[in-house]
């Protein structure tokens, strides 16, 4: 099993989503506070993703109908 790869993927996601790479290190204490603030944000996003999965991730979730299409019939309203 390649657990190192998952860790690298998680770090990349953290850099993009919660701004882990946005802080320029000047001193240890502010950097530590920044990383400490990013970790709960990452945990919150992980919980939200588990509770409310995206529709394409869970095939059992029903797709929302397109608002521009007539859902009552499969035919167009034009006659001719």
For 6-65, write each residue's pLDDT tens digit: 888 888 888 888 888 887 778 888 888 888 888 899 899 889 989 998 877 555 555 555
Predicted local distance difference test score (pLDDT) of residue 44: 92
Report the alpha-carbon distance of residue 34 to residue 25 in Å, rounded: 10
Predicted local distance difference test score (pLDDT) of residue 72: 55
Report the alpha-carbon distance of residue 75 to residue 19 in Å, rounded: 48
* Average pLDDT score over the chain: 75
């Amino acid at each position: 099993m390649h657990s190192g790869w998952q860790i690298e993927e998680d770090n990349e996601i953290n850099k993009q989503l919660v701004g882990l790479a946005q802080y320029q290190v000047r001193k240890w204490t502010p950097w530590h506070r920044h990383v400490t603030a990013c970790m709960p944000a990452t945990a919150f996003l992980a919980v939200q993703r588990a509770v409310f999965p995206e529709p394409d991730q869970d095939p059992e979730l029903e797709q929302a109908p397109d608002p521009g299409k007539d859902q009552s019939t499969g035919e167009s309203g034009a006659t001719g």
